[in-house]
Structure 1
Amino acid sequence: MKKVALLVAAALMAPSAAFAHQAGDILIRGGAVTVSPNSSGDNVLGTGNLDPNTNTQLGLTFSYMVTDNWGVELLAATPFSHSVSTQGLGEVAKIKHLPPSLMAQYYFGNAQSKVRPYVGLGVNYTVFFDEEARGALAAAGSPVDLDDSWGVAAQAGLDMKVTDNLFVNGSVWYMDIDTDVKTDLGTFKTEIDPIGLMVGLGYRF
């Protein structure tokens, strides 16, 4: 029994097989991304600011580990589609956007850690397209056009080992998205500033 106990203790103290997230690794993550805008901005004809609704799409991230603790990541996704409304007018537009973001990341722990929390900071570029007037704007015959946006992006996330190459991931994002919404009734500055939540799986190459 004493020998068995010593063997178990030795196994528990031995370094675990590398989870990786080490220099040279490529990490691909995929899952559902829910974008929830925190909108503010100009009052639209006394009816409130423009407010896009929440939308969920497929998200993909591609990371390269520069060192065991530092990485770079690109966020991509299928186009997000939002109904835009004001409190007084209801739905006034339908829009789509893509928010690719490039991040510098720091991973806590080391290559032997089975759980790797990380944080990131970078830049977001949001392109708007397929803008369509609805409700009162459509009735007034007004087009809708949104300027593309550059802004800061930040994230925090967690990877947890399933196998040597497969892991589960959860992350939260913040994006600074400001745009001018142009209509025949005027131009309205709008800050969308969404929080994004992604849950999915990752694979290490």
Structure 2
Amino acid sequence: MKALLPVALVSAFCSSMALAHSAGDIFVRGGVASVMPNESSDKVTGSNELEIDKDTQIGVTLSYMLTDNVGFEVLAATPFTHDVSVNTLGKVAEVSHLPPSVMAQYYFGQANSQVRPYVGAGLNYTLFFDEEGKGDLANTDVNLDNSFGLAAQVGVDVTLSDHWFANASLWYMDINTDVHTTVGTFDTDIDPLTFMASVGYTF
């Protein structure tokens, strides 16, 4: 009996740690999300294109499991703010955006698995606002068109307790915009990778 006691305890612990991503479940994730642009644009000066720096903010997702393996997720975040620069000119603008996205997801493994990797595909709508010219474009109008495009993700959930779990996910978003300035309009692909590390709760 003494020899069986540790096995029984481990078995009970693992059973209580089963992650309930099953049909009908609703869960939220909250954490930090870092947007890392992979930008390219029309030439601004010579061979120089627009350059966009990364930013990290608070990210939140809300998910619903349609079946034990198929779910839907909505992504929201606090506004991301990026510096826009040109190699020969330095910082020329600052812009904020929100990237709400809707994803259909497929979760691998069983509903009670302690680790649930998943993939997703869906749509992203990026809303740009608070555009402001800087440096050579200070006190001039700078505007970015909103963007609608595809999105994809990979991620994994790892059980922490009956309701809590840890998450890591990587998103790709197809973001294309026209940057309107007083010196011209520049077609720009931002196409960022977004890494999110979060903690989730299952209801």
Give the counterpart letter for 1:197 in structure 2: F
* Cα deviations by residue, 1:97-156 (Å, 9 ceiling, x for unpaired): 000000000000111200000110000000000000000111xx5310000001110110
Cα distance in 2 for partners of 1:118, 1:197 equals 15
Change (3 A) 1:6 1:94: closer
Following TM superposition, by how much is the alpha carbon of 1:158 offset from its aligned partner in structure 2, in angstroms?
Answer: 0.7
CA contact (8 A) 2:45 2:88 kept: no
CA distance in structure 2 between the partners assigned to 1:181 and 1:191 by the alignment: 10
Counterpart of 1:22 in structure 2 is 22
Q: 2:184 — aligned with what?
A: 186
Residue 164 (structure 1) aligned with residue 162 (structure 2): yes
Q: Work out the number of aligned pairs and report it.
A: 202
TM-score, normalisation: structure 2: 0.93
User: What is the alpha-carbon distance in structure 1 between the residues aligned to residue 7 and residue 197 of structure 2?
Assistant: 35
Gaps of 5+ in 2: none
Q: Is the 8 A contact 1:47 1:89 kept in 2?
A: no
Is the CA contact (8 Å cut-off) linking 1:47 and 1:88 kept in structure 2?
no
Identity of aligned residues (%): 58
What is the identity, as a one-letter code, of the residue corresponding to 1:25? D
Tell me which amino acid in the other structure corresponds to 1:16: S
Root-mean-square deviation (CA, aligned residues, Å) is 2.1
Q: TM-score, normalised by structure 1?
A: 0.92
Gaps of 5+ in 1: none
Confirm or deny: 8 A CA contact 1:142 1:185 kept in the other structure. no
| Residue identity opposite 2:96 in structure 1 | K
Return the letter of the residue paired with 2:174.
Answer: D
| Deviation >2 Å, runs of 4+ | 3-9, 15-18
Question: Counterpart of 2:109 in 1: which secondary structure?
Answer: coil
CA distance in 1, matches of 2:145, 2:54: 20
Partner of 2:124: 124
1:162/1:6 CA distance change after superposition, 3 Å: closer
Flag the 1:63–1:186 CA change in 2: closer, same or farther, 3 A. same
